[in-house]
Amino acid sequence: MARRQGVLDEDPEVARSQILAAADTAIQRFGIAKTTIDDVAKETGVSRPTIYRYFRDRDTLMASMIEIRSRRLFEQTREYLADRSTFAEQVVDGLLYLVDRGRQDPAIRLIVTPEHAGRQTALAGSSGLASRLTYEMWAPLIAAARGRGEIREGISDVEICNWITLVELILVGRMDFGEPDGPGNKRLLTNLLLPGIVTTPVEVMR
């Protein structure tokens, strides 16, 4: 395949964005497992060594792609939750929304599925990519809920987000092999996740 004519912007951040956009296109064409640095370089219109000037290796590039797609999903989720007034509603409805859509995205799926959990460190270039992104999504909502007196004393934001991360892995498996919109998943969150986080009594779902 002949390279397209293209020159990266002089601004490093803009250039990184151009490369990530090209990587997104390459992933759509070849799939995330088969996309290589060479594919991204050809799509960008630059040489392979040029890509390495901005991203240390393939996993670093993919981790950046995951972050971009995750933040895009976070924005959609916050809009979806705009009319939920309590943290209990936000975390139940928000988790179901996030996991259902995240498991269908080939990049995000690398950190929200059990079979890929062991690759988090390699993808991120540092440990805990899934936990870090989970914290980014939920910390503002947790802070607001604390201000309303909805969060139990004695548990930190980090502990809550780490627990949510583990629950996400469970939900992905259940959604992959069951009904994504079935009542079972909402019941699981209401009966087992919420009591450990919120102060207000939770009505048990059967």
Per domain, the residue ranges of the chain are 7-55, 59-196
Residue bearing tokens 């999903």: 73
Q: Which two tokens stand for residue 170?
A: 């469970």
Dump pLDDT digits (tens) for 18-74.
999 999 999 889 888 889 999 999 999 999 999 999 999 998 998 898 899 999 999
pLDDT at 1: 41
Q: How far from chain centre, in Å, is Cα 44?
A: 25
Q: Report residues of the chain scoring pLDDT below 50.
A: 1-5, 117-127
pLDDT score for 121 = 37
The Cα–Cα gap between 48 and 172 comes to 35
Two tokens, residue 179: 């009904």
Phi, psi of 198 (to 5 degrees): -95, 155
Please, which residues bridge with residue 151 across strands? 198
pLDDT score recorded for residue 125: 42
How confident is the model at residue 120, as a pLDDT?
Answer: 42
Q: What are phi and psi of 151, to 5 degrees?
A: -100, 135
The two tokens of residue 182 are: 């079935």
pLDDT at residue 28, rounded to an integer: 87
Q: pTM of this prediction?
A: 0.81
Residue 122 to residue 135: CA distance in whole angstroms: 19
Q: What pLDDT is recorded for position 50?
A: 95
CATH superfamily of 7-55: Homeodomain-like (1.10.10.60)
The confidence score (pLDDT) of residue 206 equals: 55
The pLDDT value recorded for residue 199 is 93
